[in-house]
Amino acid sequence: MPALLSQPEEFPMLEAYFSRLPHLPLLRWKGQICEASGQTIESTGPPCSLGDSCEIVDGSGGRHLAEVIGFHGRNVVSMTVDSSEGIRFGDEIGSLGAIPCFEAGDRLVGRVLNALGRPIDRQGGLGRAIALPLEGSVPQPLDRVAIRTPIGTGVRAIDGLLTVGRGQRIGIFGGSGVGKSTLIGMMTRNSEAEIIVVGLVGERGREVGEFLDESLGEEGRRRAAVIVSTSDQSPILRMRAAQAATAVAEYFAGQGRHVLLVFDSLTRFAMAAREVGLAAGEPPTAKGYTPSVFQKLARLIERAGQFSRGSITAFYTVLMEGDDQQDPLIDAVRSLLDGHIVLSRGLAAEGWYPPIEVLDSISRLMPAVVTPEHRRSAAAVRRMLAVYTRSEDLIRIGAYKPGTDAALDAAVASRSAIRAYLEQGAAERITFPQAVEDLLALSGRL
């Protein structure tokens, strides 16, 4: 038997069972609850480690899954994964002796699951799967591969002026109601990636079905694995949904596939991590965020990238409260990502869709993945946009007289052509070569 367990690769039919062995407890330690506040539980024991899963048995025999989030003196602080109703002083809490895992497999494609890995799409079970730790592992810096290949998103403004490389991490910054969900729906339907993983974190329950049916659509759902945690669920579940989506993306990338990870939203993940950190006794810092929030953000984002086998290209939506780009969370995320796309409420109000503010957006890896001609054409269009924006107020009030500035005359004349290039219907599909060809044609007329 020891020889059998040491060489699981010789028995592929047992792979799903072998993957669970490292996470099974040898002993189950127990303790007693001595204090509870909301979903935060304090107990005398059991012996455990940070991040371990626990199970609480209440007086009526109900079982509540929990996770260890800290220690107060000799007491263990945990937080329930679901409801804490029915838990009483003196109830038993037992350590499961294992870290939280998520079961991944090829059958996840086309399915919708909750943060615990249970299907919620009424399409039956998932069959055999492999248990993956939610925390995953961040690749070593020298294990990464340089990003040199562009990936088409199906959005002309992005592919032409903000080209993304395979394995890049990009933020989509915007206020509420400016079209973030519609934009990521376009990318998931039209992307060149082989597999799509969508993480909906802290989403309103009403909007989950709408996103699946309207934004993602039948075509997008066929090649997407969707992990959902709604706003009414515990912060532990909201964090797990984010980690599970990343773990699933890692699973497919490990098979040598090119994965598109779409994550909505990174802000709600940070808010859930803040709730957990405050419950564990961490001091609040900038805007109430605890120090561990920024460490968790960095760890989550760093798990995406280009690897020797496969890649994870990630788009993370970030909510700008009051359209404020100076929020400490936005500053932290911007420093971790390889670029960002800013959505403008002003452009959205004009009916300009997608309302991408090109001058405020950047893809840091675009110079490494496009041809010199593509780069020059994109620079020419950005230059025209900058010249027009600089004098837009004068133009609107009629204070500018044509003929006084040749560059501004050219910018005004090209305004309608540039807008026609940047605008795109939600159902309109644009390939990457077509977006580049249209850009070269546009720059030739400037």
What is the pLDDT confidence band of residue 12, given thresholds at 50, 70 and 90?
A: low
Token duo for residue 349: 């109000």
Number of domains present in the structure of the chain = 3
In this structure, what CATH number is given to the domain that contains residue 429?
A: 1.20.1270.330
Query: What does the alpha-carbon distance between residue 200 and residue 404 come to, in Å, rounded to a whole number?
Result: 52
Q: What is the mean pLDDT of residues 171-189?
A: 86
Residues 187 and 283 in one domain: yes
Does a structural domain hold residue 76? yes
- Is residue 82 a contact partner of residue 65, using CB atoms and an 8 Å limit? yes
Residues 108 and 94 in one domain: no
Q: What is the dihedral of CA 12, 15, 17, 20, to 10 degrees?
A: 160
Domain containing residue 128 = 102-369
Does a structural domain hold residue 1? no
Last residue of a domain, one of 335, 369, 403: 369
Q: Which residues contact 214 (CB under 8 A, 6 or more apart)?
A: 185
Does a structural domain hold residue 10? no
Last residue of a domain, one of 76, 99, 122: 99
Residues 341 and 430 in one domain: no
What is the pLDDT confidence band of residue 40, given thresholds at 50, 70 and 90?
A: very high
pLDDT, position 4? 42
Does a structural domain hold residue 108? yes
Last residue of a domain, one of 53, 68, 99: 99
- Which position has the higher pLDDT, 111 or 181? 111
pLDDT, position 1? 37
| Cα atoms in the Cβ-side hemisphere of radius 13 Å centred on 413 | 12
Does a structural domain hold residue 4? no
Query: What does the alpha-carbon distance between residue 417 and residue 419 come to, in Å, rounded to a whole number?
Result: 5
pTM across the whole model: 0.87
What is the pLDDT confidence band of residue 381, given thresholds at 50, 70 and 90?
A: very high
Residues 306 and 401 in one domain: no
DSSP structure class, residue 67 = E
**φ and ψ at 238, to 5 degrees?**
-65, -40
Residues 61 and 115 in one domain: no
Of the candidates 265, 354, 369, the residue with the CA atom closest to the CA atom of residue 311:
369
Is the pLDDT assigned to residue 367 strictly greater than 90? Answer: yes
Q: What is the mean pLDDT of residues 60-85?
A: 90
Q: What is the mean pLDDT of residues 277-284?
A: 90
Does a structural domain hold residue 228? yes
In this structure, what CATH number is given to the domain that contains residue 54?
A: 2.40.10.170
Is the pLDDT assigned to residue 208 strictly greater than 70? Answer: yes
What sections of 93-204 are H helices per DSSP? 156-161, 180-190
Residues 169 and 146 in one domain: yes
State what percent of residues in the chain have pLDDT above 70: 93
Residues 221 and 241 in one domain: yes
Q: Which residues contact 90 (CB under 8 A, 6 or more apart)?
A: 32, 33, 34
Is the pLDDT assigned to residue 149 strictly greater than 90? Answer: yes
Residues 274 and 385 in one domain: no
Does a structural domain hold residue 301? yes
Residues 159 and 210 in one domain: yes
Residue pLDDT, tens place only, 315-342: 999 988 766 667 788 889 999 999 999 9
In this structure, what CATH number is given to the domain that contains residue 269?
A: 3.40.50.12240
Does a structural domain hold residue 282? yes
Residues 177 and 245 in one domain: yes
Query: What does the alpha-carbon distance between residue 219 and residue 23 come to, in Å, rounded to a whole number?
Result: 36
State what percent of residues in the chain have pLDDT above 90: 49
Residues 381 and 333 in one domain: no
Cis omega (within 30 of 0) for bond into 46: yes
Token duo for residue 179: 């079209």
Residues 306 and 386 in one domain: no
